[in-house]
Structure 1
Amino acid sequence: MMRAWMLPMLLVLSGSFVAVGLILRGSTGAAVAPLLVFVLFAGVNSLLVFPRSIGALEAQRRSAVDGRPIVFWRPGCPYCLRLRIRLGRSARRLHWVDIWRDADGAAAVRAANDGNETVPTVVVAGRPHTNPDPAWVREQLSPPG
């Protein structure tokens, strides 16, 4: 769990150092902007942006029942963030597995990607797709017809 929050904490800490440096130079007003930017980047790279993660085994069980895709991701991954943002509200209809929190999820991603933990890896109907186009993923959520 701590590993997932490492980047956001580092961003907030860095922003705080920059802001303190500007305050010590007498630029109190100018310190607010970089601090807000760093906090924004921290929020975007945190677990708060992604739907709640579940374990790989639970995701596979649920996907077998409802047919929804499984997304294997990790915090700090720009491609995962791109997918999440471009999916918008439909992202909540997917099963999300954080590979840093779930060893079975990391193993599934390595098995699909020649031993690499390349994310996002989206599993649709048992077939893995590495870094797919968000529009394609959204299409997989549409009922056939």
Structure 2
Amino acid sequence: MVRRWSVAALAALCGVLIAAARFGDGAPGTAALLLGAFLVLAFVLSPLAFPRAAAEDDRPVVYWRPGCVFCLRLRARLGADADRLRWVDIWQDPSAAAAVREITGGDETVPTVVINGRGHVNPDPSWLRDQIVPAAPGATQA
């Protein structure tokens, strides 16, 4: 549990220390701005930025871990479509970490996406969106 929050906590702590130094230098506006920026960074790096894993269902699974920049990129690029996936934190679920190691040949490389029983390591977000978003009626496939 501590490992999941360590990167976010470190970002928040750095923000508090830097803001305190700026405040001590007589720049309260800069201090507030920096603190706000670091707290936003801490949120983005925390598990709160990802959808919560629901019970087992038929949605594709994304295995991720807090602080992973590639996971953050995938989450950000998918936007609202990220809710069409089941996000599983490998630092919280040991069986998920084992599944990732099996797919990747022993590494815990994330994001790893499983669609229809097939694993894809660090897929392109636009490719993944095409896999999870149904085609519009009347659209032709190229």
TM-score norm. by structure 2 comes to: 0.89
* Map 1:3-42 → 2, pairs under 5 A: 3-42=3-42
Partner of 2:73: 82
- For residues 126 and 27 of structure 2, the distance between their equivalents in structure 1, rounded to whole angstroms, comes to 45
Contact 1:69 1:140 in 2 (8 A): no
SS in 2 for 1:132: coil
Contact 2:81 2:133 in 1 (8 A): no
SS in 2 for 1:23: helix
The runs of 5 or more residues in structure 1 that have no matched partner are: none
- The answer to whether structure 1 residue 140 and structure 2 residue 136 are counterparts is no
The letter of the residue matching 2:111 is P
How many residues matched? 136
- For residues 121 and 131 of structure 1, the distance between their equivalents in structure 2, rounded to whole angstroms, comes to 6
- CA-based RMSD of the aligned residues comes to 1.5
Cα deviation, 1:109-129, whole Å, max 9, x if unaligned, reads 011111110000000111100
The letter of the residue matching 1:41 is L
- The answer to whether structure 1 residue 96 and structure 2 residue 90 are counterparts is no
SS in 1 for 2:87: strand
The letter of the residue matching 2:83 is R
The runs of 5 or more residues in structure 2 that have no matched partner are: 136-140
Contact 1:119 1:130 in 2 (8 A): yes
- For residues 140 and 116 of structure 1, the distance between their equivalents in structure 2, rounded to whole angstroms, comes to 25
SS in 1 for 2:52: coil
- For residues 86 and 23 of structure 2, the distance between their equivalents in structure 1, rounded to whole angstroms, comes to 44
SS in 1 for 2:88: strand
- For residues 142 and 32 of structure 1, the distance between their equivalents in structure 2, rounded to whole angstroms, comes to 40
- For residues 88 and 19 of structure 1, the distance between their equivalents in structure 2, rounded to whole angstroms, comes to 31
Partner of 1:73: 64
Deviation at 1:2, TM superposition (A): 2.1
Quote the sequence identity (%): 50
Deviation at 1:143, TM superposition (A): 3.7
- For residues 79 and 44 of structure 1, the distance between their equivalents in structure 2, rounded to whole angstroms, comes to 12
